[in-house]
A and B are shown apart, each in its own frame.
Chain A
Amino acid sequence: MVNAVYDHMIAILIIGVIFVSAVVILPTMSFTNIQAVNQQQLRNTALNVFNAMLLDTGEPIDWGSQRPFYMNDPRVNRFGLASAQDTTFYVLDPDKVQRLVVGNPLNYCDYNRVRDLLGLKDYGFRLRIIPPFNVTFKSISVASNVLNYEADVHYLDGTPIPNAEIYATAVYTKTKGNNLIFNVSQSGPFKSNSLGKCIGTVPLEVTDPDYYTVTLKVTVADVATLVVTSGQEFNNTIARINLVYDTIVLTSWKDPPDYNVPPNDAIWILDVVAFGSKGKLWHLLDKDKKGSSDFNSGSGNFERWNQTFSGLHGFQPVILIFNFWAVDQVTGHGRSQVLIVTAYPNLLGTNIFEYGGDPKSSDSVKIQRSVIISGMTYTAELWLWKEST
């Protein structure tokens, strides 16, 4: 009788141990399953969000090209980056992408606003736009009337790209008394060698220019193109160059601008040249420094100057080159022709554009897709994760 009691006690003990073990093990096992289901749901959500971003034009369909555009503009009812002008899938509107560039002087939509528009209150996301390859300038020099450049073309993992096709465009100025020379010369194609190195020259029409800049259009296998620019280094405080659809807008570098003090710098805009993704040049403006400066004629305190050039958006400009008559940025003495070059949108070039929050490494999903911006191929990458977990 006593032994039977002991046996029952041992049986109860074993059952207890099994019960406790089950309580510990079972949730762990089902947690893995729940995690798997969550992961798949997250992946589906990411796919829907990615499609909404890349295939939808948003509402209004030209929301990125609106002027004025307010910070987190309430007129944007639906978010989408697709171009309304292009019927091909995965072609993004550079004006809309530009509205994601934090610090855009013509305003932008911040992360929380975009998250609200996408209905992602419980989720976090990060959008990355990655160039397909890299181009690095190694050297640029002018000897008499020849501009020499050397550039390296390589894949993102650093291995060289042979046979990349390179066209060079040199823009340069020279001041001889009252004679202001502004010129554009082109050369190419040159091919990169087996080490990915390209050494090229551009014949110039003047000797020893005061300012010069070279723009390279690099194409790999006829499928991916990058446009990169380089020139003399100086600290540009004249103006920031912005583009909204067909309108070029120059804005103050002062951040925040001093609204009460009118800018006292007399600056003339002599030339404006746009460089398109297909390698074409468009001389948008050709003026002289006679008469009064119209540099500070822009509307609003931030804007210094604006002008609309019909058809500029369709031209797909990727580089804008300005020739100012301004105080020499290098010497600080007297006025001369000063070249300022800017990429449009700012994210283009060889930088990786990133927008959004910081992904949680453990519980986030990643989706990738190649997209076209201003006629150039990029890889868009979306990271999505749940905020509340």
Chain B
Amino acid sequence: MERINITKNTIGQMRIVEVILASFVIVFALSFTNIFAITPTSPKYEVTELQKLGYNTLHDLDEQGLLARFVYNHEWENLTSALRVLLPLDVYFNVTIYDLQGTKVNNVPIFYGDREAFATSKNVASINYGLVGYPTRLSATYTPRILIIQLVRG
């Protein structure tokens, strides 16, 4: 008689186990989908914004004929100053210039901001900008330079 009662009782216990398992499945599923949710602090938006800002700034300098002058005449201090006045105050930058062989051209850092911000921030934008040469009145040589500018918000 007792054995029959135990068997009947396990049906109810199994319902509880089923409910708990089902709830775990739901909670895990929701948690899993939330990982893919794009939140407002997502690096995707911030990086895009910084990329636009960086590209526009370099393009503006290039249009005025100043970017090529700074790069080919090695006016690193002027390039740093120009970027500092054109970029918003809270945007830090780090510029590296390479030739076609991948050799770094700028021997002094073209940098503004906190190095820690570049190391710790998840939202670092990187923009590649190409210059084909620096035409002067008498000559125009094909000596491409590749500018890589990294931007981060401080």
Contact = CB atoms under 8 A, between A and B. Distances in A.
Contact of B16 (A7, A155, A157, A381): A7
A29 B9 CA distance: 38
Contact of A14 (B19, B37, B56, B70): B19
Nearest to B67: A223
Interface stretch (A33-41, A69-77, A199-207, A314-322): A33-41
B86 interface: yes
Contacts of B61: 223
A82 to B, nearest CB: 16
A157 B89 contact: yes
A379 B16 contact: no
Interface string B1-42: 000010011011101100110010010001000100111101
A245 B15 CA distance: 83
B106 to A, nearest CB: 16
Give the interface size bracket for B toward A.
35 or more
A220 B12 contact: no
A223 B85 contact: yes
Interface in A6-28: 6-8, 10-11, 14-15, 18, 22, 25-26
Contacts of A369: 53, 56
B12 A8 contact: yes
B105 to A, nearest CB: 19
Interface string B99-123: 0000000000000000000000000
Nearest to B77: A163
Given A35-B39, A221-B79, 10 more contacts: A3-B8, A6-B12, A14-B19, A22-B26, A26-B30, A33-B37, A40-B45, A157-B89, A223-B82, A369-B53
13 contacts: A7-B13, A8-B12, A25-B30, A29-B30, A32-B37, A32-B39, A33-B37, A35-B40, A36-B42, A40-B45, A221-B79, A223-B81, A381-B88
